[in-house]
Structure 1
Amino acid sequence: MAAHAEFEVDGPEGTRTVRLSNPDKVYFPERGFTKRQIAEYYLSVAEPMLRAIGDRPTTLKRYPGGVPGEPFYAKRVPKGAPEWVRQVEVTFPSGRTAHQVCPSEPAVLVWAAGLGTLDFHPWPVRSADVDHPDELRVDLDPQPGTDYADAARVAGVLREVLAEAGLTGFPKTSGGRGIHVLVRIRPEWDFIMVRRAVIALAREVQRRIPEQATVAWWKPDRGERVFLDFNQAARDRTVASAWSIRGNQRATVSTPLTWSQLPEVEPDDFDLQTVPRWLAENGDPHRDLDDRAYGIEVLLDWYARDERDRGLGEMPYPPDYPKMPGEPTRSRKGSLSGQPNSCENSS
């Protein structure tokens, strides 16, 4: 078993030598995938992945003991990071600040893999303006009794609602049973306003298919429905990026798809071993994501309409957040499903 391996990684600033310790360490015991294979995988998808996370502050989800094992989120640049690993300062909801990794070249992906990073969780902002998201994200989270096929059906309705708001979404598997839909937006609104746009969008989907979709924050209120997790739009809440390996025994990958592919696949179709070939054969379905940035004015109008005509305003924030302006009480007592009534984190 090799003590280390060296990768010569080409990038915009030339070739970097990245040293990988214990490259033959097995990270996925059921399938035998090693740290070396994780690094090789990220090199194989580096081009589309850097389109997805490049120039974004990114949290590293690290599994130092492999899978299964207890991961942790590295929200600060790890000590000893090479000088060529870009950093960007972000502000957390508490008001504290930190410097996060800002991936800018393939060598960063290999270096992160060497730290036991499996998935990358980018903020929905660019380094030049970390307070105004340029990506609206919708997380469709199947609840017990539902599955990926249910999420795909709800995503189809979500697509219709997005179109009515003048928006185009790009779907991907979450790497689990869920689906993420991304919309490029102009960075003109802060996190609070973008989250309200997601709330309005999710409420409209729930109205159309109330037996299949829910915005109820308390888990007992959700039933066997797909939860549209609006709080993934809150500051410092992130989802695994496109092309990220997920920390499950199959080493599945969060994979971009076209809308026509979405209902035809299974999440387990995409893993560390299969995705490089799939990418080579199909290309990147999210290649055009950056071609146009949209406004969210229609969604904010819907939010204002719901507040004015239906008495629906803010929804609870995650429990670790400070009290936010206009937020209802964080209590489930007396709540009604679909109302602003819950504060439990679903992630």
Structure 2
Amino acid sequence: MYIQDIPKDKKFWVVRSGDAGMFYEHFIHNAVVAIGHIDEVDYNEEILKDPDEVLKLVYNYKNNLLEKKETLASASNKAGQVLRFINEMSIGDIVITLDAKRIAVGVVTSDAFKDTKHITLINADSSTSDTLLKFSLRRSVDWGKTQFRNQLPLAINNSFRANQTVFSANEHWKELNHWLSVAFISDGDAYISSRIEQKEGIHNLDIAQYAIIINKIEAIAETLVRNQEHNFSEEELLEVFEETYKKLRKSRTFTVTTQQVFLSPGDLWAKTSGERTKSLIVICAFLLMFDIEPSFADQHDKVFIEAHRESISVMLEKVKDDESFTDVKKGLALKVPAQKLSKKVSASNSSQKKADDDCEPDDFEAI
């Protein structure tokens, strides 16, 4: 699993694919998002490249709506969506589109452009679909694979309640990043996500022990950060670890905070604070506990973890044994969700298949 730093100013956008998501497949199979708001307005590529000209374009569009007797609120809303699509959305931003049952996440790969060529689809029987996407204002997107919306965490689905065609989802930054990246660093803090799949009643002891395990993972990181210059034997390392854990517990200085987004099944998200080195160890220890091999955006991170991997493993095995991690994992049906954001943006899937052929459950690889 890929470990990366995600800035808190990373932008998220939702662009709806027409009424009731009727152009969802047009978006996905043709690697675009598009809106039709200004189709009847005279504009060109040169205008789209000049922010001042874009403001004039949006102003004229708004006035056209008012002349057609739209309310000021409605005209302002639609004009704002156009402005966001052209001037506020940027290459590298995350974009989401959805219909009633499906959702896809992608990365914006182009500035806004005008294209009046209609987009169609090829049906499973090789015939051409009668439904044409005519929206002329577009951006190119590298899409990941489709996921079913009913498998999303509730907090994610709640972020899509706005009725606009184009809107920012930045207020749900934490929830979206937990869903997309699973384990990541932001402003030096570590964020980790796990999934509880148990459909029966959850035993309180398992939840309590899992919380202790997460605390002990932070203690592993604290042990290494505080003693980087020491070369302990395995026995000495475990003694220092136990002492560090006891001190953190006694002083109540653990930084772990959790957000439980479940009854059952559901999600449990955790965050630890501190210097970046500590956060890197927390994430790697968490992944290794689930036998997931970490990979790194930064080569220095890889070198650092390789230098401390044996020590992490020694302490981690102690934690797993003391807290019966195998039993906890089984009792909660614990897993780490698949990562939806990876270090490389995957090529868009240009093949055109039946709608449900693209859908995969929770463990899919995406952008």
TM-score where L is the length of structure 2: 0.29
Higher helix fraction (1 or 2):
2
TM-score where L is the length of structure 1: 0.30
Structure number with the bigger relative contact order (C-alpha 8 A, sep ≥ 6) is: 2
